[in-house]
């Protein structure tokens, strides 16, 4: 997805930093609950959901952020849900591609909340936060039971402090809340992202943002923040990047983990483009799971925050059923090895294109880092 490319001092690494309701214990209890249930392929890809499954999603494992905040291990992504941003890669192709009416973001998020999702991943760029806010209001889910993340887009980052503050106010108004649990710098806009990060830190002090993070940051972008005087206390708590077995940037991920930064994964399911992969199919047959569920399980088992998205409720339900089985070490290693050198090069090309995207420098390489850690 082009739009998103898409701890205390003693906090353990994210792969181990899971709340008292750990992924391992969650798996064990889930398997126990489902031992007597049907395991037919039809049941696997159900379009309905049992009350137990919904409650399991509501009570999903969490990963602690640096201040002890519990970050749900799974969330619902809202990119291209009810709205396709003008500069999205598929916008032109999608225009006129179908006469079928698109479901609104309000409808989709309503389904997600009714299915048990409590972490909503939003963004200025997604263009649908007002619709998301309508769904939140109508759901009746208490605000304290939700974890809401938003991101500030490149155009606003480039404009600076006043624009960022105004955009956050709009986001809060659209979402119908007084604060967001997590606010991210969407891209490390050259020459602008450090000041933008400092502005968001100020908004945190004002109580409008509970935690501050980044998105699409390379190791070198993060180090630029630190060299600008960002203290240990104010370091990003999250870095949201594309993570899946077909783009597993292990060295980058291990670096951020060593810094106590929790990794959020987008394109966890590769936009549905890998569902015919033989390895995923084989593992799915073994565990009676869909390829999407294998991808999701790989993500949470590595300790990454898993953010699937769909406009279909049956897929929302299916995508969440990843806590009732466990892949072996050998199977995880096999999936880890699916990333090719070409994938790293494709990522690098996208990074160079997108850090200036939609800004006054769009299409140029002005300020773009050309030597970053790509693996």
Catalytic residues, by residue number, are 126
Please name which of 362, 372, 374, 371 lies closest in space to residue 157, comparing C-alpha atoms.
362
Using DSSP's 3-state secondary structure scheme, residue 99 falls into: coil
User: Which alpha helices (H) appear in the chain, and where do they start and end?
Assistant: 2-5, 23-34, 41-44, 51-58, 91-94, 105-115, 129-139, 154-159, 161-175, 193-205, 219-227, 250-258, 278-287, 291-301, 313-320, 329-336, 341-354
Helices (H) and strands (E) in the chain, counts: 17, 10
Please name which of 211, 234, 206, 210 lies closest in space to residue 222, comparing C-alpha atoms.
234
Q: What is the CA radius of gyration of the chain?
A: 20
Strands 182-185 and 262-266, by their bridges, are unpaired
How far apart are alpha carbons 375 and 330 in whole angstroms? 21
Q: What are the distances in angstroms from CA 114 to CA 74, 108, 136? A: 15, 10, 10
DSSP class per residue in 106-130? HHHHHHHHHHT--EEE--TTTS-HH
Q: Are 148 and 180 in contact (CB under 8 A)?
A: yes
């Amino acid at each position: 997805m082009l739009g998103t490319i898409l701890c205390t001092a003693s906090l353990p690494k994210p792969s181990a930093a899971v709340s008292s309701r750990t992924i391992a214990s969650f798996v064990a209890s889930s398997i126990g609950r489902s031992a007597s249930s049907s395991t037919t392929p039809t049941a696997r890809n159900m379009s309905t959901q049992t009350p137990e499954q919904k409650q399991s999603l509501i009570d999903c494992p969490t990963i602690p952020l640096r201040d002890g905040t519990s970050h749900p291990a799974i969330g619902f992504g809202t990119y291209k849900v009810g709205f396709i941003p003008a500069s999205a890669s598929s916008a032109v192709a999608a225009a006129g591609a179908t006469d079928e009416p698109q479901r609104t973001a309000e409808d989709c998020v309503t389904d997600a909340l009714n299915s048990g999702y409590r972490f909503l991943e939003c963004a200025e760029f997604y263009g649908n936060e007002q619709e998301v806010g309508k769904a939140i209001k109508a759901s009746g889910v208490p605000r304290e039971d939700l974890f809401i993340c938003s991101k500030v887009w490149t155009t606003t980052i480039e404009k600076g402090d006043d624009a960022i503050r105004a955009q956050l106010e709009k986001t809060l108004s659209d979402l119908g809340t007084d604060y967001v649990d997590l606010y991210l710098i969407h891209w490390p806009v050259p020459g602008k992202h450090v000041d933008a990060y400092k502005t968001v830190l100020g908004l945190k002090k004002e109580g409008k943002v509970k935690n501050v993070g980044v998105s699409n940051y390379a190791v070198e972008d993060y180090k630029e923040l630190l060299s600008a005087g960002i203290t240990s206390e104010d370091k990003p708590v999250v870095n949201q990047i594309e993570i899946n077995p077909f783009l597993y940037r292990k060295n980058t991920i291990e670096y951020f983990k060593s810094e106590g930064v929790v990794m959020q994964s987008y394109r966890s399911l590769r936009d549905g483009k890998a569902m015919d992969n033989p390895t995923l199919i084989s593992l799915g047959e073994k565990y009676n799971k869909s390829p999407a569920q294998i991808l999701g399980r790989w993500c949470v088992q590595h300790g990454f925050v898993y953010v699937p998205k769909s406009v279909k409720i049956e897929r929302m339900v299916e995508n969440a059923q990843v806590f009732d089985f466990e892949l072996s070490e050998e199977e995880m290693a096999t999936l880890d090895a699916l990333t090719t050198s070409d994938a790293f090069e494709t990522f690098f090309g996208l990074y160079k294109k997108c850090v200036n995207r939609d800004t006054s420098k769009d299409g140029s390489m002005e300020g773009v880092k050309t030597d970053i850690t790509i693996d």
